Structure 1
Amino acid sequence: MSNKITEAFAKGKAFIPFITCGDPSLEITEQLVYAMEEAGADLIELGIPFSDPTAEGPVIQEANVRALSGGVTTDKVFDMVAKIRQKTAIPMVFMTYANVVFSYGTEHFIKKAAEVGMDGLILPDVPFEEKEEFDTVCKQYGLDLISLIAPTSHERITQIAKEANGFVYCVSSLGVTGTRTQITTDIGGMVKLVKAVKDIPCAVGFGISTPEQAKKMAAQSDGAIVGSAIVKLCAAHGENCVPYVKEYVKSMKDAVREA
């Protein structure tokens, strides 16, 4: 288990932003990482663009398309992370799809991710029952494969929690990523089920976009994860998005601190 991921939750409730690598460019993605850390982010999720991101709503799908058409490749993402690691040790995890890892070569991808300094990997399209082939290699190279639980996981939650590493990603609502006006899932209940089996941090994602929602979700868990709302800012402001994202992340971190 990555100590750095544990550390991200050690200072109180964590705020975890997500960005798509290469949207609007890899140079800006690198700047965003530093800006978000300065604004109080505790752990950063870097999305490796993929042509068919099944868990994503239109906002992140469009970001994937922009990044890919801009020539972003997995190798270029690795090079960018190596550069980031010369300047910051903030915990970072990749979020991508099984196909990206497969096509690169599972061991090759995971070994390289560990070498450039990543701390974990999230594969939303890999169900618990099929995670073994990735998890074994992740353990070999000291990377945490982050497990997701959904409102429909029910009796599988305890099974998933037992084998979870790093933190547990609690999916707040059914469907794809994107902002929601309301989150009605019993997050507290999901978190209790996890904690009854294993003392591991639980962070809530999918649908959180306002400081009020972040505070509410963090109050019932160990942290909040936000993607679409940040990716929207990148889309709206393009190359000039860094100060807007920094200000937004700061407001979200402030809200999470109050939880």
Structure 2
Amino acid sequence: MTKLLMPYITGGVVAGWTAYLRAFEDAGADLIEVGLPFSDPTVDGPTIQEASDAALARGATPGSILAEVAADPVTIPLVASTYANLALRPGFGDALTAAGVTGLIVPDLPLDELDQLQVPGIAVSLLASPATPDDRLAEIGKRSQGFVYAVSVMGITGERDRLAPSAATLATRLKQITDLPILIGFGISSPEQAAEAAEVADGVIVGAAVMRRILDGASPATLGAFVGTLRAALDVR
């Protein structure tokens, strides 16, 4: 089974940012997570916070980001991610659909409030953490769509020098309660870590390691090459 690769980018982070989407696609990404920046990104670490601040300083809004996505489309699925303050606004689901976005992640929306999210036709993927109890994990598996986002470690997003052992434990637990793909995120920073995660999961999400490079000035071609190393690591595992 081919392992899934989903790189992340903060929408609007730099001028011409959609060129990175095409570079990711050309490098073998299976889907792309596009962050809609929010002023208080509670689950994100310093790198994604810096990227969000940069995008907001450039005047990026959910509307402008989705308009740019629609104007420069890719052929692989796009998954938006943002916070409940934005996702619960009227018309948000229609805006995603109009831009060609097919999936959504809302990390701060409690499972008990999921019914407030009105995004018909959009696959909402829920997050599970190592601390999620079994009964709640089963409910997450039942109500997720598209895939389940397995948070590798308790904490915030960011690059890490090794894959936490809790990632494998969580992926194993999720495999027992859902047939949806399990994608591990939070801290996947290298091809080696991606390959290790893919031993127990169906794929990986790589965010901070991508955004650090963009913030440091890496070109779309350079980022495409990095994503290509992740693709190769997943393919030879």
TM-score by length of 2: 0.95
Aligned 8 A contact 2:172 2:200 in 1: no
Rounded Cα–Cα distance in structure 1 between residues aligned with 2:224 and 2:29 = 10
1:19 equivalent in alignment to 2:9 = yes
The sequence identity of aligned pairs, in percent, is 36
Q: Which residue of 1 aligns with 2:115?
A: 132
Q: How far 1:219 sits from its partner (Å)? A: 1.1
Range with greater deviation from structure 2 (179-188 or 156-165): 179-188
Q: Which residue of 1 aligns with 2:64?
A: 76
1:114 equivalent in alignment to 2:97 = yes
Aligned 8 A contact 1:158 1:193 in 2: no
Q: Deviations over 1:90-131 (max 9, x none)?
A: 1110011111223xx23x011110122101110111121221
Q: Which residue of 2 aligns with 1:162?
A: 142
Q: Which residue of 1 aligns with 2:130?
A: 151
Q: How far 1:154 sits from its partner (Å)? A: 2.6
Q: How far 1:193 sits from its partner (Å)? A: 2.6
Rounded Cα–Cα distance in structure 1 between residues aligned with 2:98 and 2:11 = 18
Aligned 8 A contact 1:57 1:177 in 2: yes
Rounded Cα–Cα distance in structure 2 between residues aligned with 1:258 and 1:131 = 38
Aligned 8 A contact 2:160 2:188 in 1: yes
Aligned 8 A contact 2:87 2:106 in 1: no
Unaligned runs of 5+ in 2: none
* Cα RMSD after superposing both structures: 1.3
Q: How many residues align?
A: 236
1:177 equivalent in alignment to 2:177 = no
Q: How far 1:204 sits from its partner (Å)? A: 0.2
Q: Equivalences for 1:1-259 in 2 at 5 Å? A: 12-25=2-15, 27=16, 29-85=17-73, 88-102=74-88, 105-106=89-90, 108-134=91-117, 137-138=118-119, 141-155=120-134, 156-237=136-217, 241-259=219-237
Q: How far 1:250 sits from its partner (Å)? A: 0.3
Q: Secondary structure at the match of 1:179?
A: coil
Q: Runs (4+) of structure 1 moved beyond 4 Å?
A: none
Range with greater deviation from structure 2 (46-55 or 151-160): 151-160
Q: Secondary structure at the match of 2:12?
A: coil
The amino acid across from 1:56 in the alignment is D
TM-score by length of 1: 0.87
The amino acid across from 2:127 in the alignment is L
Rounded Cα–Cα distance in structure 1 between residues aligned with 2:160 and 2:7 = 16
Rounded Cα–Cα distance in structure 1 between residues aligned with 2:163 and 2:42 = 21
The amino acid across from 1:96 in the alignment is T
Whichever structure has more helix as a proportion of its residues is 1
The amino acid across from 2:75 in the alignment is A
Unaligned runs of 5+ in 1: 1-10
The amino acid across from 1:131 in the alignment is L
Q: Secondary structure at the match of 1:215?
A: helix
